[in-house]
Homo-oligomer: A and B are copies of this chain.
Amino acid sequence: MSWTISADLIPGLARGAAVLGTGGGGDPYIGGLLAAQALRLHGDVTVVSLQEVPDDALVLTVAMMGAPTVMVEKLPSLDEVIAPVHALSASLGRAVTHIACAEVGGVNSTIPIAAAAALGLPLVDGDGMGRAFPELQMVLPTLYGINASPLAFSDEKGNVGVLNTVSNGWTERIARVACVEMGCSVMISGFAMSGSQAREALVADSLSLSYEIGSGIEAAREAKTDPVAETVRLLGGREFFAGKIVDVHRATTTGFARGRARITADDATLELLFQNENLIAEIDGHPVVTTPDLIIVLEHDSGEPITTEGLRYGQRVRVISAPSDERWHSAEALDMVGPGYFGYDTAAYRFDGSVEAVESSGESAA
């Protein structure tokens, strides 16, 4: 079940990860450059399935934290990518055995590849979300009681910090303000897990799925078939809107890229609300899909995924939705990543347009 990432797989992997990243995670092309460079310097990376990870493994996630608008402007060096892993390993007093992705998304799927290559470690075929979310506690391991901390963070200047916090929410709060002060983009490593914890808490096979989607888009283009339809098929999702972007508001505040985009068709208008990732899609004022399900914007003809910082006036796009990992639909999970957490006053809508049946635990029926 293990396979090998060589430099020629990077474009497909990065493209597919950007699809699953629902607009977040930064430009897949830029993240791909760093991974390809690492593979050329240090050799290919072995990807192992979650089943193959020994129970007593030490699995760490590696990610870039910050606003994608800033991430793409200051891509880290390989030294910076591995600095938090070394700091965390020293703090734990144990050698790391496996690297994992915290989320699927452009930069945050390719940076762990670069880290695994530079460290000579295998990469786990899985991630903490099966998509991308803006805050670091928003991973399935949090729901399994796995601590984000000790969590290490580092910047391009050489500043490094290690946090030990009382909750994953506090890890996010302290790391976020440090991240903003350090220039709105830092490298982080945390969520130390054993192999058995990783098997339970991560989303399996998400790197494989990323490559399947990314190479599927490429293959559809070459076969002159529809890459968007191929993506919908692979995700088990649906295409629910097509139109032209007529308005984009975006601001980088408190470490996030927040904003909204308006997309018009002949007879309807789609409003897309995002915070690093696409979170809410409303047609003519009515929500149709919301976080935690996936809202993905693809270029109309090429099917190329468009990140939230890549949204531009005049782009012709198609918007698809897809189911998230079913564990994101529990009451506890919806409290953490549902529309209400992000301040949107709406129920959660599934990818097929149905309203979430689960009561939020915060307002459970008496």
Interface residues of A (CB under 8 A from B): 87, 91, 157-166, 170, 173-174, 176-178, 180-182
Kindly report which residue of chain B lies nearest to residue A171, judged by CB atoms: B159
Residues from chain B with Cβ under 8 Å of A164 in the complex:
87, 159-161
Residues from chain B with Cβ under 8 Å of A158 in the complex:
165-166
How long is the Cα–Cα vector from A344 to B293 in the complex, in angstroms?
53
Given contacts A159-B164, A177-B177, 4 further A-B contacts (CB under 8 A): A87-B164, A157-B166, A161-B163, A173-B181
Kindly report which residue of chain B lies nearest to residue A158, judged by CB atoms: B166
Residues from chain B with Cβ under 8 Å of A173 in the complex:
181
**What is the copy number of this chain in the assembly?**
2
Kindly report which residue of chain B lies nearest to residue A166, judged by CB atoms: B158
Residues from chain B with Cβ under 8 Å of A177 in the complex:
177-178, 180-181
| A159 CB contact (under 8 Å) in B157, B165, B178, B182 | B165
Which residue, of A87, A178, A182, has the highest number of chain B Cβ atoms within 10 A?
Answer: A178
Residues from chain B with Cβ under 8 Å of A170 in the complex:
157, 159
How long is the Cα–Cα vector from A170 to B186 in the complex, in angstroms?
14
Residues from chain B with Cβ under 8 Å of A161 in the complex:
161-164, 174
| A174 CB contact (under 8 Å) in B87, B91, B165, B178 | B178
Contact of B163 with A160 in the complex, beta carbons under 8 Å: yes
Q: How far is the CB of A87 from chain B (nearest CB, A)?
A: 8
How long is the Cα–Cα vector from A248 to B268 in the complex, in angstroms?
58
Q: How far is the CB of A71 from chain B (nearest CB, A)?
A: 19
| A182 CB contact (under 8 Å) in B160, B174, B182 | B174
How long is the Cα–Cα vector from A87 to B161 in the complex, in angstroms?
12
Q: How far is the CB of A329 from chain B (nearest CB, A)?
A: 31
Q: How far is the CB of A333 from chain B (nearest CB, A)?
A: 24
Q: Top 9 closest A-B pairs, CB basis?
A: A177-B177, A158-B166, A177-B181, A160-B164, A159-B165, A161-B163, A162-B162, A174-B178, A157-B166
Q: How far is the CB of A190 from chain B (nearest CB, A)?
A: 13
How long is the Cα–Cα vector from A138 to B146 in the complex, in angstroms?
39
Residues from chain B with Cβ under 8 Å of A163 in the complex:
159-161
Residues from chain B with Cβ under 8 Å of A176 in the complex:
181
Contact of B166 with A174 in the complex, beta carbons under 8 Å: no
Q: How far is the CB of A221 from chain B (nearest CB, A)?
A: 46
Q: How far is the CB of A15 from chain B (nearest CB, A)?
A: 35
Residues from chain B with Cβ under 8 Å of A174 in the complex:
159, 161, 178, 181-182
Residues from chain B with Cβ under 8 Å of A162 in the complex:
91, 161-162
A-B contact pairs, 5 of them (CB 8 A): A87-B164, A91-B162, A158-B166, A159-B166, A174-B181
How long is the Cα–Cα vector from A166 to B164 in the complex, in angstroms?
21
How long is the Cα–Cα vector from A157 to B166 in the complex, in angstroms?
7
How long is the Cα–Cα vector from A254 to B173 in the complex, in angstroms?
16
Which residue, of A165, A173, A174, has the highest number of chain B Cβ atoms within 10 A?
Answer: A174
Q: How far is the CB of A106 from chain B (nearest CB, A)?
A: 27
How long is the Cα–Cα vector from A162 to B164 in the complex, in angstroms?
9
Q: How far is the CB of A67 from chain B (nearest CB, A)?
A: 16
How long is the Cα–Cα vector from A82 to B182 in the complex, in angstroms?
28
Which residue, of A161, A162, A176, has the highest number of chain B Cβ atoms within 10 A?
Answer: A161
How long is the Cα–Cα vector from A132 to B91 in the complex, in angstroms?
33
How long is the Cα–Cα vector from A173 to B182 in the complex, in angstroms?
8
Q: How far is the CB of A210 from chain B (nearest CB, A)?
A: 33
How long is the Cα–Cα vector from A181 to B254 in the complex, in angstroms?
12
How long is the Cα–Cα vector from A158 to B164 in the complex, in angstroms?
8
